[in-house]
Amino acid sequence: MYQLGFLLYVYLFRLVALFHKKARKMVVGHRNTWRILRDGIDRSKPWLWFHAASLGEFEQGRPIIERIRSEHPEYGILLTFFSPSGYEVRKNYPGADLICYLPFDTIFNVHRFLNLVQPKSAFFIKYEFWPNYLTTLKRRHIPTYLISGIFRQEQLFFKNYAPFYRRLLGSFTHLFVQNQNSIDLLSSIGRTEEVSISGDTRFDRVLEIQAVAKDLPVAELFAKSAKGNVLIAGSSWPKDEVLFIPYFNEHPELKLIIAPHQIHEEHLLAIESQLKRPFIRYTQATSENAASCDCLIIDCFGLLSSIYRYGDIAYIGGGFGTGIHNTLEAAVYGIPVIFGPKYAKFHEAKELLACGGAFTIDSESAFTNQLDALNTDTNYRITAGKKAGEMVLNGSGGTNKVLNYLRL
pLDDT digits (tens, 9 = 90+) for 311-321: 999 999 999 99
Q: How far apart are CA 325 and CA 235, in angstroms?
A: 7
Q: What is the pLDDT of residues 209-259, one digit of tens each?
A: 999 999 999 999 999 999 999 999 999 999 999 999 999 999 999 999 999
Q: How far apart are CA 308 and CA 275, in angstroms?
A: 21
Q: How far is CA 399 from CA 53, 63, 93, 127, 159, in A?
A: 19, 6, 19, 17, 31
16 has pLDDT over 70: no
8 has pLDDT over 80: no
The one-character DSSP state at 277 is S
CATH number, domain of 44, equals 3.40.50.11720
Confidence of residue 70 (pLDDT cuts 50, 70, 90): very high
Confidence of residue 138 (pLDDT cuts 50, 70, 90): very high
Q: What is the pLDDT of residue 362?
A: 96
Alpha-helical segments (H) within 81-201:
84-90, 107-117, 131-139, 163-168, 180-188
Average pLDDT rounded to a whole number, residues 384-389:
98
12 has pLDDT over 90: no
Q: How far apart are CA 259 and CA 277, in angstroms?
A: 17
* The one-letter amino acid at 334: G
Residues 165 and 196 in one domain: yes
Residue 4 lies in a domain: no
Average pLDDT rounded to a whole number, residues 62-83:
96
Residue 242 lies in a domain: yes
Q: What is the pLDDT of residues 262-300, one digit of tens each?
A: 999 999 999 999 999 999 999 999 988 999 999 999 999
Residue 220 lies in a domain: yes
CATH number, domain of 376, equals 3.40.50.2000
Q: What is the pLDDT of residue 19?
A: 75
Cα–Cα nearest to 113, from 179, 196, 49? 49
Residues 198 and 94 in one domain: yes
Average pLDDT rounded to a whole number, residues 300-310:
94
Residue 128 lies in a domain: yes
Beta strand residue intervals within 264-391, DSSP E: 279-281, 295-297, 313-316, 337-339, 358-360
Residues 199 and 225 in one domain: no
Residue 104 lies in a domain: yes
Answer yes or no: are the C-beta atoms of 286 and 308 closer than 8 Å.
no
Q: What is the pLDDT of residue 10?
A: 65
Residues 67 and 100 in one domain: yes
Average pLDDT rounded to a whole number, residues 125-153:
95
Q: In a 3-state reduction of DSSP, which class is residue 140?
A: coil
Residues 203 and 318 in one domain: no
- The residue with greater pLDDT, 80 or 21, is 80
Q: How far is CA 164 from CA 153, 191, 318, in A?
A: 16, 15, 34
Residues 192 and 219 in one domain: no
Residues 177 and 41 in one domain: yes
Residues 143 and 265 in one domain: no
- Dihedral angle over CA of 172, 181, 324, 21, nearest 10: 20
Average pLDDT rounded to a whole number, residues 367-389:
98
105 has pLDDT over 80: yes
Q: What is the pLDDT of residue 27?
A: 77
Helix (H) or strand (E) segment spanning residue 396 = none
Cα–Cα nearest to 230, from 216, 213, 212? 216
Q: What is the pLDDT of residue 56?
A: 86
Q: Per residue in 194-204, is it b (16+ CB within 10 Å) or e — as a string?
A: ebeebbbbbbb
Residues 280 and 347 in one domain: yes
Q: Mean pLDDT of all residues in the chain?
A: 93
3 has pLDDT over 80: no
16-25, 33-42, 157-166, 293-302 — which is least confidently predicted? 16-25
Confidence of residue 11 (pLDDT cuts 50, 70, 90): low
Residue 7 lies in a domain: no
Residues 72 and 191 in one domain: yes
17-31, 148-162, 191-205, 272-286 — which is least confidently predicted? 17-31
Q: What is the pLDDT of residue 17?
A: 64
Q: How far apart are CA 279 and CA 34, in angstroms?
A: 49
13 has pLDDT over 80: no
Global pTM value: 0.85
User: What is the number of structural domains in the chain?
Assistant: 2
Q: How far apart are CA 367 and CA 362, in angstroms?
A: 7
Residue 218 lies in a domain: yes
Q: What is the pLDDT of residues 322-366, one digit of tens each?
A: 899 999 999 999 999 999 999 998 989 999 999 999 999 999 999
Average pLDDT rounded to a whole number, residues 190-214:
93
Average pLDDT rounded to a whole number, residues 52-67:
93
Q: What share of the chain in percent tops pLDDT 90? A: 84
Q: How far is CA 376 from CA 78, 312, 371, 382, in A?
A: 50, 12, 8, 11
Beta strand residue intervals within 211-281, DSSP E: 230-236, 255-260, 279-281
Confidence of residue 149 (pLDDT cuts 50, 70, 90): very high
Residues 151 and 266 in one domain: no
| Range(s) of the domain holding residue 81 | 13-209+396-406
Residue 1 lies in a domain: no
Residues 193 and 220 in one domain: no
Alpha-helical segments (H) within 46-151:
55-71, 84-90, 107-117, 131-139
